[in-house]
Structure 1
């Protein structure tokens, strides 16, 4: 299963979600960043070395 960290209003996340949908992949998405916060959480930082941006792990 693919884990996606990023808010649904992000153009980067929207492009990734389109790709995931086209490929029919199973995924779990978490809203992080902007008004949602969460970029300083340990779970997010373990998936990404920077504290901002879209992150996906499989």
Structure 2
């Protein structure tokens, strides 16, 4: 059953997602490019940048 159908039926809470892109250093880009697919999210994640941008998005929507 598609996720949106389950959401519409009230089985799961509605969700709103926002893609946040960050700039990677050359070293991070190399790690990302050579990583196994399941490891790429970890290399792409920069908590310091994502947190600041997410806080900005929260302020913009509130």
Normalising by the residue count of structure 1, what TM-score does the alignment of the two structures yield? 0.29
Query: Comparing both structures, which one devotes a greater share of its residues to strand?
Result: 1
Query: Comparing both structures, which one devotes a greater share of its residues to helix?
Result: 2
> Highest relative contact order (Cα 8 Å, sep 6+), 1 or 2?
1
- Point out the structure with max Rg over C-alpha: 2
